[in-house]
């Protein structure tokens, strides 16, 4: 085992911990998104509170902090299931960093964009199909949370036929399960009929 085998997952976790939404809104919008809107540090809350430009910047930042370490891991990994397992460890470290940020007292966001960045590298086809699923359910329902939940459900079932990799399938399924868990409050509000619309004020 080389040093990079142990160091890259740690670096991925620290990169995943960077709260881009909080940083960008603090510097450019003078608002603490943890105390406004949904209280989430992700791109959708930034969009609602600080506008399209900062929302998109947050989205790109959160995707990249999943994609970059996984891209590096993929370029270093050996072929076969051991290589896939290490890539998945790096991916899950970045994803876990967003959910349990070292810079926010081990609190964080819902992980959708960071998981998307990981999947973009591990299976680009599934990434784009999940994106289409998200957009479809967002447009049908009017809720970003519904799009995220639907895309996560699709990911959990579609990743195996696309990759035929046990480690990647397990990693994607765990990410999907944790995204569902992070959306518990949204699911409750949807059932009660008082979820925040993505197209409303």
Q: What is the mean pLDDT of the chain?
A: 92
Report the pLDDT value the prediction gives residue 23, as an integer from 0 to 100: 93
Among candidate residues 84, 159, 146, the one with its CA nearest the CA of residue 116: 159
Mean pLDDT of 156-171: 95
The Cα 156–Cα 10 span in angstroms is 25
pLDDT classification of 201: cutoffs 50, 70, 90: very low
Q: Give dist(CA 29, CA 130) in Å, integer.
A: 31
Distance CA 147, CA 106 (A): 26
Q: What sign does the dihedral 108-113-119-120 (CA atoms) show?
A: negative
Say yes or no to pLDDT of 161 above 70: yes
With CA atoms as reference, report the closest residue to 90 among 151, 16, 39, 145. Answer: 16
Q: What is the mean pLDDT of residues 142-151?
A: 94
pTM value?
0.93
Task: Tell me the pLDDT tens digit for each residue of 85-128.
Answer: 999 999 999 999 999 999 999 999 999 999 999 999 999 999 99
Q: Which is it for the CA torsion 37, 40, 43, 46, positive or negative?
A: positive
**Mean pLDDT of the region 166-179:** 96
Please list, in sequence order, all residues whose beta carbon lies within 8 angstroms of the beta carbon of residue 157, skipping any fewer than 6 positions away: none
């Amino acid at each position: 085992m080389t040093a990079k085998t142990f160091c890259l997952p740690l670096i991925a976790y620290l990169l995943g911990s960077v709260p881009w939404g909080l940083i960008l809104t603090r510097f450019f919008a003078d608002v603490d998104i943890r105390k406004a809107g949904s209280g989430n540090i992700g791109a959708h809350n930034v969009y609602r509170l600080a506008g399209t430009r900062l929302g998109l910047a947050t989205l790109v930042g959160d995707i990249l902090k999943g994609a970059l370490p996984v891209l590096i891991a993929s370029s270093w990994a050996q072929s076969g299931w051991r290589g896939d397992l290490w890539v998945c460890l790096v991916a899950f470290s970045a994803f876990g960093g967003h959910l349990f940020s070292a810079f926010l007292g081990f609190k964080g966001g819902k992980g959708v964009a960071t998981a998307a960045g990981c999947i973009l590298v591990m299976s680009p086809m599934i990434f784009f199909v999940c994106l289409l699923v998200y957009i479809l359910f967002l447009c049908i329902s009017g809720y970003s949370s519904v799009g995220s939940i639907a895309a996560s459900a699709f990911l959990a079932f579609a990743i195996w036929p696309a990759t035929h990799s046990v480690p990647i399938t397990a990693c994607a399924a765990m990410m999907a399960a944790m995204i569902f868990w992070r959306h518990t409050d949204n699911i409750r509000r949807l059932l009660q009929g008082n979820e925040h619309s993505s197209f409303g004020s």
